[in-house]
Amino acid sequence: MNTHSNKQVDVRKLGLIAYQEAWDEQERLFATTVNQKLLNRTRSADEQQPTPNYLLFCEHPPVYTLGTSGHAENLLIDEARLATEFGATFFKIRRGGDITFHGPGQLVGYPILDLDNFFTDIHRYMRLLEECIILTLLNYGLTAGRIDGSTGVWLNVDGNSGPARKICAMGVKASRWVTMHGFALNVNTDLSYFNHIVPCGITDKGVTSLAVELGYEVPLEDVAALVQRHLFELFDMELIET
């Protein structure tokens, strides 16, 4: 734990934003935090400055992203057809996980946290992100859970009513205990886009959304407010008032 640990988090709501633009902003904030950590190493304890934490909320125009451990063959159509036929883009990115889809109506969260401010345990970090989404879905009367070996949040994890259905994908990168990327919760997402991929490389399970499960669309800002509340409680965060 840092001598100057900082649990304050700057929450930024970016709205509908191009994937590349959001990625660039993540990289900028990530570099700011890492550079402060490196600078602190050269300073005495009295001169060190707390490292910042950020939480970005947004949604993206249609885009497919493939993580470093992913397999390109899980994109089921020719990459050149994505833009012309489906209005989508494609990115290979430095995060865990396989291929996934982002699009309008999906709540995307990018926590850029210095885990030295909280705890240095990536496994615990991932499980708390999942727990945050599980608690949010419970607010809407949905019982969600985890599946061993498959990061993310699922409905029907016991398989009693057909295949399990993935409602939230997760993939993160961490360097020097600073995190990037995060989670994508299907709220009002057009699920037909998932027909063009093997989501997260998993062939025997389905994909769903909050709107499909509830039978009506849910305001994205309402879901974001619940996610933020649960995240702040689980991580014992403090909101930076702006």
Beta bridge mates, 184: 108, 169
Residue corresponding to tokens 């700057």: 10
Q: What percent of the chain has pLDDT over 70?
A: 94
User: 204 is written with which tokens?
Assistant: 């025997």
Q: What is the pLDDT of residue 67?
A: 81
Q: How far apart are CA 154 and CA 160, in angstroms?
A: 13
User: 39 is written with which tokens?
Assistant: 């600078």
Is domain 9-236 in CATH 3.30.930.10, yes or no? yes
Could you report the per-residue pLDDT of 45-68, keeping only the tens digit for each? 888 899 999 999 999 999 988 887
Mean pLDDT in the chain?
Answer: 90
CB 31 within 8 A of CB 56: no
User: 210 is written with which tokens?
Assistant: 């909050």
Annotated catalytic residues are: 200
Domain extents for the chain? 9-236
- Residue 194: exposed, middle, or buried by beta-carbon count in 10 A (0-12, 13-18, 19+)? buried
Could you report the per-residue pLDDT of 207-220, keeping only the tens digit for each? 999 999 999 999 99
User: 124 is written with which tokens?
Assistant: 């615990």
Q: What is the pTM of this model?
A: 0.91
